[in-house]
């Protein structure tokens, strides 16, 4: 607990505060699971000093840090308070920062930077009286503070943060178009929209969520050697950081467009059959291939090898061009697809069909609740992951449908059929996502039961490798280190039978066995090794493929929160999985290597997606409403309607595109939309995150 002391001079008292997510999409409040505070945890409390360092990371640098704080107060009149603690006591960074800000009676010109060194998490907090904006705080965090924290430059993070605060205080960044202001979470009647149904393009624009590793690498890259390929003329003169942002936004936009188009094409195929939709399948297939190429380039930029900056800029330009080309190809067919579905002509009947489907799907909710209760009785919470939330998410989506359908009927009555179509398609997409969530609950029992059986098989297989290592390489230190690692993983796998996450334990066992097999390959008989690798691949491939598809489905159903990094990982994982399948017959060793990498990237995608979801929880949560019923330009439903594009019954509208996705302009795509996040008071920060 921080020591409690009296007020300090220089504080102006708590000021009126606004939710900092006023420019982002409406969010739904998820249950927060509080865990017991770990050793070294520090509860929020009153800061007695401007520099608070119970983590002990600023030792010897206090003078440098204090100079930066003094300079900031001289230049911008801001008083920056710094708290380095071991952990956030089980709270999110935003929660810890806000509670400490309030407990310390900060306000006025105060800004708090809080860093949990062991958690690798941070956040900031201030009020509107400081003269700062949420967008400015986000820029300071992402562009000044986080790169230094990522390099464990604790003092440098404060110095850079002070410089950034001075800059954005004097020259605030643009908030983007389409904002509905900074009001609370409710402004009258309207439609409750679950946050996980919304496109995060606005979040990318407003919060600068791009690859921190990419930014740091760009600063460290040396000058290119002679003969290095030159970048496209359209990117020349554009700052590298801006190219990073554009590429991230383009990837999210294209991925949303492809996912939404794929879903709506399935609706059309069910209505008209494969023959009448074959041409659209071809267009979509080409767009998916271009998306894979773009994501593959992004993965190369994110790997451990640092490209010279001109090469990185060229690759970023290629990503943007691939995404733009794919979106254009989709747009060219959007009107034809809209004509095929003829939604505008039959929208009254379509709305009634949708109302019936909502009733039908809602009937599955009690069964899903029973399934979750049964799973919770048999498996620990860690094993269930997001399954326990999926029934509530499905219910929220179906509740949204009621509002969409009502708005659609109202639009039909007023003669505004394009708006009615937008509402109907929003409801159709919401129903589809609700069904997928409930289907995932249906599958969860079998998947978890199968994972326990697979755990036993994986433990037996790697135990056999450990015996081989004792026989073939008892004195090889590298092999024995791998054996020690394998034993640790086996122990975790055994624990996962009764506690923990069996699916994650399986991935760890696979990785450990692959490493051990690789080391033992030169010592084994060639034919026996080849046979073992082939058998192992066959046993793993089906399971890994199912796991990757499940992760991809998770990203799809929560894509309103998931940014480009997790999408990059899962795209690359699926690409490598396909390559592994193709190589299995001729080169099982290469296939096994590809499968192992695909599995690793898949688990990384799931972890990063969950971090994105958690970050959205930190940012605000809660439902947001907008008066006046449905505004199609502002609604973004999983990438179908985004950013104020076309709404004529095609494949959505976003940033000038009829196929969904991110994009700029109005609505959520440009950082605007439904006003603020959660209701009530609170200051704002830049979102914080991990480093």
DSSP 8-state secondary structure symbol assigned to residue 145: I
The CA distance from 584 to 122, in Å, is 44
CATH architecture of the domain formed by 51-185+682-690 = Roll (3.10)
Helix (H, G, I), strand (E, B) or coil at 667: coil
Could you tell me which residue, 277 or 299, shows the higher pLDDT? 299
Q: Which of 133-142, 522-531, 537-546, 584-593 has the lowest mean pLDDT?
A: 522-531
Mean pLDDT of the chain: 74
The answer to whether the CB of 347 falls within 8 A of the CB of 412 is yes
The highest-confidence range among 154-158, 266-270, 429-433, by mean pLDDT, is: 154-158
Work out the pLDDT band at 595, boundaries 50, 70, 90: very high
CB 544 within 8 A of CB 576: no
Predicted confidence band at 367 (pLDDT cuts at 50, 70, 90)? Answer: very high
Percentage of residues in the chain having pLDDT higher than 90: 22
* Average pLDDT rounded to a whole number, residues 529-546: 84
CA-CA distance, 565 to 571, in Å (whole number)?
Answer: 10
Helix (H) or strand (E) holding 642: strand 641-642
**Model confidence, pTM:** 0.51
Q: Strand, coil or helix: what is 654? A: strand
Task: List, for residues 41-64, the tens digit of each pLDDT value.
Answer: 578 888 888 999 998 899 888 889
Contacts of 53-56 with C-beta under 8 Å, sequence gap 24+, read 53/82, 53/83, 53/84, 54/84, 54/85, 54/86, 55/84, 55/85, 55/86, 55/115, 55/116, 55/117, 55/118
Model confidence pLDDT, tens digit, residues 65-108: 999 999 999 888 899 999 999 888 778 888 888 889 988 888 88
- What mean pLDDT comes out for the span 201-218? 38
Any idea what the Cα angle at residue 169 is, between residues 163 and 170, rounded to 5°? 95
What gap in Å lies between CA 121 and CA 228, rounded to an integer?
38
Where do the structural domains in the chain lie, given as residue ranges? Answer: 51-185+682-690, 445-613
Residue 335 pLDDT class (50, 70, 90 cuts):
low
What does the H/E/C string look like for 424-437? Answer: HHHHHHHHHHHHHH
pLDDT band at 223; cut points 50, 70, 90: very low
Out of 219-228, 388-397, 499-508, which region has the weakest mean confidence (pLDDT)? 219-228
User: Alpha-carbon distance 117 to 59, whole Å?
Assistant: 14
CA-CA distance, 402 to 425, in Å (whole number)? Answer: 13
Region 476-492: mean pLDDT is 90
Bigger pLDDT: 109 vs 34: 109
- Give the C-alpha separation, 167 to 654, whole Å: 32
Give the model's pLDDT for residue 616.
60
Query: HSE of 419 in the Cβ direction (CA atoms, 13 Å)?
Result: 17
Q: Model confidence at 656, in pLDDT bands (50, 70, 90)?
A: very low
Residue 174 is predicted with a pLDDT of 53
Helix %, strand %, coil % of the chain (to 5) = 60, 5, 35
* Chain segment 550-576, per-residue pLDDT in tens: 899 888 887 877 888 999 999 999 999
- Specify the higher pLDDT residue, 13 or 602: 602
Q: Is the pLDDT of residue 365 over 90?
A: yes
């Amino acid at each position: 607990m921080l020591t409690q002391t009296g007020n300090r001079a220089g504080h102006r008292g708590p000021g009126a505060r606004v939710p900092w997510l006023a420019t982002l999409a409406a969010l739904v409040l998820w249950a927060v699971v509080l865990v017991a505070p770990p050793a070294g945890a520090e509860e929020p409390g009153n800061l007695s000093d401007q520099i608070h360092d119970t983590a002990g990371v600023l030792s010897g640098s206090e003078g440098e840090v204090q100079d930066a704080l003094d300079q900031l107060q001289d230049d911008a009149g801001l008083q920056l308070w710094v708290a380095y603690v071991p952990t956030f006591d089980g709270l999110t960074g935003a929660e810890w920062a806000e509670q400490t800000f309030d407990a310390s009676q900060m306000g006025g010109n105060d800004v708090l930077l809080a860093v949990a060194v062991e958690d690798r998490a941070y956040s900031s907090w201030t009020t509107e009286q400081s003269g700062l904006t949420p967008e400015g705080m986000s820029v300071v965090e992402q562009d000044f503070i986080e790169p230094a924290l990522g390099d464990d430059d604790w003092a440098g993070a404060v110095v850079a943060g002070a410089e950034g605060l001075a800059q954005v205080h004097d020259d605030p960044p643009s908030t983007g178009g389409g904002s509905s202001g900074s009001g609370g979470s409710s402004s009258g009647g309207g439609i409750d929209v679950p946050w996980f149904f919304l496109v995060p393009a606005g979040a990318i624009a407003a919060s600068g969520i791009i690859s921190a590793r990419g930014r740091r690498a760009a600063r460290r890259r040396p000058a290119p050697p002679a003969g290095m390929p030159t970048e496209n003329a359209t990117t020349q003169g554009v700052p590298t950081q801006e190219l990073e942002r554009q590429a991230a936004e383009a990837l999210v936009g294209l991925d949303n467009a492809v996912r939404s188009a794929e879903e709506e094409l399935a609706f059309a195929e069910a209505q008209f059959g494969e023959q009448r939709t074959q041409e659209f399948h071809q267009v979509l297939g080409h767009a998916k291939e271009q998306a894979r190429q773009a994501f593959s380039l992004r993965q190369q930029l994110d790997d451990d090898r640092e490209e010279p900056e001109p090469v990185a800029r060229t690759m970023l330009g290629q990503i943007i061009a691939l995404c733009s080309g794919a979106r254009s190809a989709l747009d060219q067919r959007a009107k034809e697809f809209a004509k095929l579905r003829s939604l505008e002509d039959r929208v009254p009947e379509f709305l009634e069909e949708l109302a019936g489907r909502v009733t039908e799907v809602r009937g599955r909710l009690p069964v899903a609740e029973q399934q979750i209760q049964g799973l919770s009785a048999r498996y620990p919470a860690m094993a269930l992951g997001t399954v326990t939330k999926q029934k509530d998410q499905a219910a929220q989506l179906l509740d949204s449908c009621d509002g969409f359908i009502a708005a659609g009927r109202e639009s039909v009555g007023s003669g505004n059929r394009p708006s009615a179509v937008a509402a109907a398609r929003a409801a159709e997409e919401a129903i589809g996502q609700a069904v997928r969530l409930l289907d995932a609950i249906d599958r969860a029992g079998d998947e978890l039961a199968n994972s326990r059986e697979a755990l036993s098989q994986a433990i037996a297989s790697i135990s056999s490798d450990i015996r081989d290592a004792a026989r073939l390489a008892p004195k090889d230190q590298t092999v024995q280190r791998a054996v020690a690692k394998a034993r640790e993983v086996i122990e975790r796998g055994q624990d996962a039978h009764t506690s923990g996450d069996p699916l994650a334990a399986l991935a760890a066992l696979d990785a450990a066995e692959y490493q051990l097999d690789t080391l033992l390959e030169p010592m084994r008989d060639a034919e026996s090794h080849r046979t073992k690798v082939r058998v192992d691949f066959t046993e793993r491939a089906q399971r890994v493929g199912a796991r990757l598809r499940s992760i991809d489905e998770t990203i799809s159903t929560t894509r309103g929160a998931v940014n480009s990094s997790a999408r990059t990982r899962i795209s690359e994982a699926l690409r490598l999985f396909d390559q592994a399948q193709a190589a299995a017959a001729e080169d099982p060793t290469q296939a096994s290597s590809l499968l192992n990498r695909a599995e690793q990237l898949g688990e990384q995608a799931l972890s990063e997606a969950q971090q994105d979801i958690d970050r959205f929880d930190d940012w605000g949560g809660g439902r947001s409403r907008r008066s006046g019923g449905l505004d199609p330009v502002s609604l973004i439903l999983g990438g179908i309607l985004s950013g104020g594009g076309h709404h004529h019954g095609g494949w959505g509208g976003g940033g000038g595109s009829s196929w969904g996705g991110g994009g700029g302009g109005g609505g959520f795509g440009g950082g605007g939309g439904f006003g603020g996040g959660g209701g009530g008071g609170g200051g704002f920060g830049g979102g914080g995150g991990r480093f």
